[in-house]
Structure formats: C-alpha cells, structure tokens
Amino acid sequence: MEQIRNGTYTGPTSGLARGYAQANLVILRKEYAYDFLLFCQRNQVACPLLDVTDIGSVASRKMGVDADLRTDLPRYRVYRNGEFTEECTDILSLWEEEMVCFLIGCSFTFEDALLANGIPIRHQEEDVNVPMYKTSIPCEPAGRFHGNVVVSMRPMPEEQAIRTSLVTARFPSVHGAAIHIGNPAAIGIKEIAQPDFGDPVTIKEGEVPVFWACGVTPQAVAMASKPDLMITHAPGHMFITTVKNEQLGVL
C-alpha cells in the first residue's frame, strides 16, 4: 500500500494483498453525483456500490478510513467530455472540493473463492491483466448516464462453468453470478482474442469463456455520456480496501 501511495508501484493489483477486497473507483463533480448514484442503483450487477464518500472527502468510512483516494491507486484514468485524455499515478492536481468518490465492487474479490474451490484463473496463471470487453447489453439509463455493460472474462472447462457461477453468486456486491457462458457473439463481442481493456488470455480446448459484469462499465458509460470531467481507476489497477473478501460474501 505504501508503495502504491508513494508511486513506486504502478502495476495491476490482481493477486496483491491476498484476502482483501479490491474496488473500482469513479470520481465525479457533485453536479453529476445524483445521476450517477441512480445509475448505479439501477445497474447493480455492473455497478455494485461498496461506498460513496461525502462531498469533498478522500477517505471511505466503510472501505478504508485512512485512505487517500487521490494517491492510493496505482494508476488513474481521466476522461474529459467523454474522451480518455490521460493516465496518471495520482490525481492530487485534479482534485476539487466538490468531488464525490464512488467505490464499486471488483470481481478480483471473488477470485480467492474460485481458487479455494480449486478453480484456476487463467489471467493469474499467465500473469496478465484480466481481459475485458464492451458488450451489446444496454445498461438501464439514469439522467445523463447511459451506455453498455462491460464484462470481464475467465475461460473455464465446460464442466466447471456453472459451478463457477454458483461460487461467485455468493458475492453480489462484487458482480455476483456470471451473466453469460459461451458464445461471445451473443453479447456483441466480435473478437475474443482482442479485448477492449486488459490483456488476451489463452482459451484451451474444451474450455468456454465465462463473462461477469465488470466495474469498468462506468468508463464505457463515461465515453457515451460525456461528463466534462470523470476520473476513474485504470482498468485492473484497483483500490485495495481494508475489508476482507469474505466480509462481502452472503449466506
């Protein structure tokens, strides 16, 4: 954490701080906060809210009381009027007192539960970022925000695909059950070997791609909805919370 804060670690966070939940970040000015909060409420599978800060606060009462969300992620992305304009390792110079931080559940959180079930995770095996794809599945719009769901993908042996979905269903606040198994074209993905975010991974003989709604969805939404300024984590470069993965599980 210290190395992320002071900028000496700037890589992806999958597999880091094992056992602790990771979160997606979206920062917006107050004027956009109601529409975005409503967007998350209406699209809870893609945008499950873990916490929303008070206006101007850079810490999270529930997910990290000592955090500074302007420095504690390895890498950020800045979107201006819907255009991705820059990537940076802190956002101190961009911060405004009227900003609100939204922490959204990340599927990295349920990867420990998959491993505990003896279900291997390809992007960890290949030491790359998880592959993520824009889909043709529309989100429920809210005010200024609209766009399609982004998904993460993990290849699974055919016989393990449903079991995998059951394991992750126990974690609704980090995207829960898979939303699609199999044919990428059915959800608008043209080329499985060319993800829109992250890295491609090997899909072996006898395996099917399994897709989960992904917290990168707000970045696709930002591009479609064009708020004047929106700051997010860089895909795969998450906020590491102080909450244990298992604390987000139900039943």
Residues in contact with its own copies by CB under 8 A are 33-34, 37-38, 40-42, 49, 52, 61, 140, 169-170, 172, 250-251
Q: Given the complex with its own copies, which of 14 and 109 has the nearer CB atom?
A: 109
Cα–Cα distance for residue pair 49/45, rounded to 1 Å: 10
- Answer for the pair 109, 21: CB distance below 8 angstroms, yes or no: yes
CB of 139 vs its own copies, minimal distance in Å = 13
Q: Given the complex with its own copies, which of 52 and 156 has the nearer CB atom?
A: 52
Q: Given the complex with its own copies, which of 30 and 244 has the nearer CB atom?
A: 30
CB of 126 vs its own copies, minimal distance in Å = 31
Q: Given the complex with its own copies, which of 71 and 165 has the nearer CB atom?
A: 165
Q: Given the complex with its own copies, which of 40 and 67 has the nearer CB atom?
A: 40
CB of 38 vs its own copies, minimal distance in Å = 6
What proportions of the chain, in percent to the nearest 5, are helix, strand and coil?
A: 25, 30, 45
CB of 155 vs its own copies, minimal distance in Å = 25
Region for 7 from its dihedrals, namely left if φ exceeds 0, alpha if ψ lies in -120 to 50, beta otherwise: left
Residue type, 216: V
Residue whose tokens read 């999958």 = 14
CB of 41 vs its own copies, minimal distance in Å = 6
Residue type, 180: H
Cα–Cα distance for residue pair 201/55, rounded to 1 Å: 39
Cα–Cα distance for residue pair 194/25, rounded to 1 Å: 24
